[in-house]
């Protein structure tokens, strides 16, 4: 679809919103005009008050995500190739998968405190599930021809995992990363809304409490943009890292 | 989709055994993790007092209402988008715009607009569940074999009948997958919204027991929620299998 026809429906809604908000028939502190939200968004970047919360959310989300990749990929690959690991871990992960990990916030706060660690651990836990399951399915579905040919040349153990199984499973692992990026931002924001800590989520709750809808809206836009940018970054990285991969051909 | 083998429970039991042994032997202080038996006792007490049931019902009413609105609205919108160009052109850009918004982040805004009661929670749950269902329905209805549509049209089937008797049934497998995603999302948004503000519900129970340091009762509700989510998913899958046994794609 051409860009212009895509813009039309969104523009219609925004203009109607602006007009309704400007007629004075709604309370502008509950339902502010679009232009005021946009101005607030620029103002928050202009005077720099968005940077600290933005950074807080971003580093916690990325720390949890990176930790989940570091633990989840080796574990998932092991489960895909070693019978005992599959026997033990697969039921645990498939049983834990439907549990909303957000429900663990109070438990993690009592274990790791209300500050950064409990949030990073929660993001780690939530991202671990997709990372393990996607790596596991990637490693399990490998064509045995590659494994046999590596084996016949004497490749064994860790080297096999690192040089053969990991590269071949990368496409599936990457699907897991793309799911996890979205999860990481979501969990970071929700955990900040529930237990503070100075991120974008806390900023939203605080502006709600002060009745500052403009800031709440501008923050929501920032959260969505961060999530979208990270997702696109992951997509772009996938294309540039995996262009050689069999699954991409 | 096989039945869940009993052997898969063994690792879960092992883990439970290690937990129990570690907290009884004092290796894990009670303040970190109370013994599993304490959790079971707390669970039994909450079941007896009816506390668990009332809060489950409160949560179910919220999640169920949002989910139901999303299912009906999502399937209707998805079908319309697939069959009417205008609708697709109008809605697709808007859906693309809403997609990257983490839905629980909408909770504070919805509380301003709709109050801190049930309406704002139901609205956020409905919106969060709507997107996967619309997308799945649209994709499903789009990929319906055109021969089916042509042959129905050639026999003079009206558009309404066509939608109801041809397009919808053919799109069902994809819709079913979208609905399954929506069930999981509904539970996540439900718990988040109940953490942020509520006086009843499973999220409220977890949060208030956690707040007063009653870890055994809190863990009991968390485990109960996990089992509930798991059973809900299994129930949905088995219901689906029965419902779709006629379908060409069913295995």
Judged by CB atoms within 8 Å, which residues 173-212 of A form the interface with B? Answer: 182, 185-186, 189-190, 193-194, 200-201, 204-205, 207-208, 211
Report the residue of A29, A30, A84, A100 to disrupt the B interface, i.e. the one with the largest count of B CBs within 10 Å: A100
pTM: 0.90
Q: Has residue A249 got a pLDDT over 60? A: no
Query: pLDDT > 70: what percent of chain A?
Result: 97
- Most confident of the ranges A115-124, A133-142, B224-233: A115-124
User: Residues of B211-230 as b/e, b for ≥16 C-beta within 10 angstroms?
Assistant: eeeebbbbbbbbbbbbebbb
Q: How far apart are CA B37 and CA B20, in angstroms?
A: 7
Q: Which two tokens stand for residue B198?
A: 């509520």
Which CATH number do you get for residue B238? 1.10.3720.10
Q: Does A220 touch chain B (CB under 8 A)?
A: yes
pLDDT bracket for residue B248 (50, 70, 90): low
Q: Is the pLDDT of residue B97 over 70?
A: yes
Cβ contact A107–B215 (<8 Å)? yes
Neighbours of A76 (CB within 10 A): 29
Measured in angstroms, the CA of A240 and the nearest CA of chain B are apart by 23
What are the percentages of helix, strand and coil residues in chain A, rounded to 5?
A: 80, 0, 20
Angle between helix B168-196 and helix B215-243 axes, rounded to 10 deg: 170
CB contact under 8 A, A98 and B184: yes
Write the DSSP assignment of chain B as a string of letters. Answer: -----GGGHHHHHHHHHHHHHHHHTTSS-TTT---HHHHHHHHHHHHHHTHHHHHHHHHHHHHHHHHHHHHHHHHHHHHHHHH-HHHHHHHHHHHHHHTTS-GGGGHHHHHHHH-SSHHHHHHHHHHHHHHHHHHHHHHHHHTS-HHHHHHHHHTT--HHHHIIIIIHHHHHHHHHHHHHHHHHHHHHHHHHHHHHS-SSSHHHHHHHHHHTT-HHHHHHHHHHHHHHHHHHHHHHHHHHHHHTTTSTT--
Residue with tokens 């009417």: B84
For residue A141, what is the DSSP state? T
How many contacts (CB atoms, under 8 Å) link A and B?
146
Look at residue B143 in the predicted model and tell me its pLDDT: 87
Helix axes A83-96, A51-81, angle to 10 degrees: 140
Q: CB-CB: which of A102, A185, A204 is closest to B108?
A: A204
Determine the Cα angle at B157 with ends B154 and B158, to 5°.
Answer: 130
Contacts of A186 in chain B (CB under 8 A): 102, 104-105
Is residue B158 domain-resident? yes
Question: What's the average model confidence in pLDDT over B91-116?
Answer: 90
Domain that holds residue B189: 34-242
- Name which of B102, B207, B225 is nearest A106 (Cβ-Cβ): B207
Question: In angstroms, rounded to a whole number, what is the distance separating the alpha carbons of residues A113 and A86?
Answer: 33
pLDDT, tens digit, for every residue of B150-208?
A: 888 888 888 888 888 888 888 998 999 999 999 999 999 999 999 998 889 999 999 99
Window from A46-55, A62-71, A227-236 with minimum mean pLDDT: A227-236
Q: Which two tokens stand for residue B15?
A: 């883990």
CB atoms within 10 A of CB A16: 11
Residue B70 domain-assigned (yes or no): yes
* B11 with A228: Cβ contact below 8 A: no
Helix (H, G, I), strand (E, B) or coil at A172: helix
| Contact check, Cβ <8 Å, B102/A227 | yes
User: Residue A127 CA to chain centroid, in angstroms?
Assistant: 8
Point out the least confidently predicted range of A54-63, A72-81, A233-242, B79-88: A233-242
Assigned domain for B4 exists = no
Closest residue in B to A113 (Cα) is: B32
Interchain CB distance below 8 Å, A106 and B104? no
Contact A111 B32 (CB under 8 A): yes
Tokens of A156: 């064994």
Provide the number of structural domains found in chain B: 1
Are A193 and B104 inside 8 Å of each other by CB? yes
Tell if the CB–CB gap between B108 and A208 is shorter than 8 Å. yes
Length of chain B: 251
Contact yes or no for B182/B125 (Cβ under 8 A)? no
Closest Cβ opposite residue B225 in set A31, A89, A103: A103
Which of A31, A109, A220 is facing B101, going by the closest CB pair? A220
Which residues neighbour B26 within 8 Å (Cβ) at sequence distance 6 or greater? none
Q: What percent of chain A has pLDDT over 90?
A: 62
> Which among A106, A205, A224 has the least Cβ separation from residue B210?
A106
Q: Is residue B43 part of a domain?
A: yes
> Is B10 a domain residue?
no
* Dihedral sign computed on CA atoms, order B160, B166, B167, B171: positive
Q: What is the dihedral of CA B132, B134, B139, B143, to 10 degrees?
A: 140
Query: Which residue segments constitute the domains of chain A, with CATH numbers given?
Result: 50-248 (1.10.3720.10)
Q: Say if residues A176 and A128 touch (Cβ distance below 8 Å).
A: no
Question: Is A6 in CB contact (< 8 Å) with chain B?
Answer: yes
Q: Tokens standing for A236?
A: 């772009």
Taking CA–CA distances from A114, the nearest residue in chain B reads: B211
Task: Identify the pLDDT of residue B1.
Answer: 42
Q: What mean pLDDT do residues B42-51 have?
A: 95
CA gap A75, A24 in Å, rounded: 58
Interchain contact, B100 vs A224, CB within 8 Å: yes
> Residue B75 falls within a domain, yes or no?
yes
pLDDT of residue B249: 53
Nearest to B222 among A103, A186, A227 (CB): A103
Query: pLDDT digit string (tens) for A79-93?
Result: 998 889 999 999 999
Q: Which of A245, A200, A244 is nearest to A225 (CA)?
A: A200
pLDDT band for position B247 (cuts 50, 70, 90): low
Could A1 and B89 be called an inter-chain contact, meaning their C-beta atoms sit closer than 8 Å? yes
Q: Quick check: B135 pLDDT over 80? A: yes
What is the rounded distance in angstroms from the CA atom of residue B75 to the CA atom of residue A162?
45
Q: Give domain status of residue B251, yes or no.
A: no
**Does any domain span residue B228?**
yes
Cβ contact A105–B195 (<8 Å): yes
């Amino acid at each position: 679809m051409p860009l212009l026809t895509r813009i039309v429906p969104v523009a219609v809604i925004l203009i109607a919103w602006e007009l309704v908000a400007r007629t004075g028939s709604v309370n502008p502190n509950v339902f502010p005009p679009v232009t005021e939200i946009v101005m607030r968004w620029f103002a928050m970047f202009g005077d720099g008050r968005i940077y600290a919360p933005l950074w807080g959310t971003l580093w916690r989300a990325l720390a949890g995500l990176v930790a989940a990749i570091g633990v989840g990929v080796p574990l998932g690959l092991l489960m895909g190739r070693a019978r005992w690991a599959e026997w033990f871990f697969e039921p645990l992960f498939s049983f834990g998968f439907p549990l909303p990990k957000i429900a663990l916030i109070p438990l993690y706060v009592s274990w790791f405190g209300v500050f950064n660690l409990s949030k990073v651990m929660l993001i780690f836990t939530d991202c671990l599930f997709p990372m393990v399951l996607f790596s596991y399915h990637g490693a399990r579905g490998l064509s045995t021809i590659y494994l046999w040919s590596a084996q016949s040349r004497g490749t064994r153990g860790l080297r096999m995992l690192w040089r053969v199984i990991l590269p071949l499973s990368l496409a599936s692992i990457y699907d897991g990363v793309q799911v996890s990026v979205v999860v990481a931002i979501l969990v970071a924001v929700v955990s900040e809304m529930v237990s503070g800590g100075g991120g974008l989520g806390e900023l939203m709750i605080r502006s709600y409490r002060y009745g500052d809808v403009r800031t709440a809206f501008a923050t929501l836009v920032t959260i969505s943009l961060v999530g979208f940018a990270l997702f696109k970054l992951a997509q772009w990285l996938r294309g540039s890292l995996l262009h050689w991969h069999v699954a991409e051909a | 989709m096989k039945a869940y083998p009993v052997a898969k429970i063994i690792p879960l039991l092992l883990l439970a055994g290690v937990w129990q042994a570690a907290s009884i032997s004092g290796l894990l202080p009670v303040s970190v993790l109370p013994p599993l038996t304490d959790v079971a006792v707390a669970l039994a007490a909450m079941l007896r007092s009816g506390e668990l049931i009332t809060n489950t019902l409160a949560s179910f009413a919220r999640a169920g209402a949002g989910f139901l609105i999303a299912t009906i609205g999502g399937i209707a919108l998805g079908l319309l988008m697939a069959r009417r160009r205008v609708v697709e052109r109008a809605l697709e850009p808007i859906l693309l715009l809403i997609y990257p918004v983490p839905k629980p982040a909408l909770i504070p805004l919805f509380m301003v607009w709709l109050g801190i009661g049930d309406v704002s929670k139901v609205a956020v749950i409905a919106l969060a569940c709507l997107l996967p269902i619309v997308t799945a329905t649209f994709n499903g209805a789009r990929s319906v074999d055109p021969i089916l549509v042509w042959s129905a049209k050639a026999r003079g089937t009206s558009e309404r009948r066509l939608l109801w008797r041809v397009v919808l049934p053919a799109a069902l497998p994809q819709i079913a997958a979208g609905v399954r995603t929506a069930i999981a999302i509904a539970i996540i948004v439900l718990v988040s919204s109940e953490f942020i503000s509520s006086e009843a519900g499973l999220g409220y129970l977890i949060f208030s027991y956690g707040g007063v340091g009653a870890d055994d009762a809190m863990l009991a509700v968390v485990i109960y929620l996990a089992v509930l989510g798991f059973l809900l998913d299994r129930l949905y899958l088995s219901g689906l299998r029965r419902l779709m046994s006629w379908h060409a794609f069913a295995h």
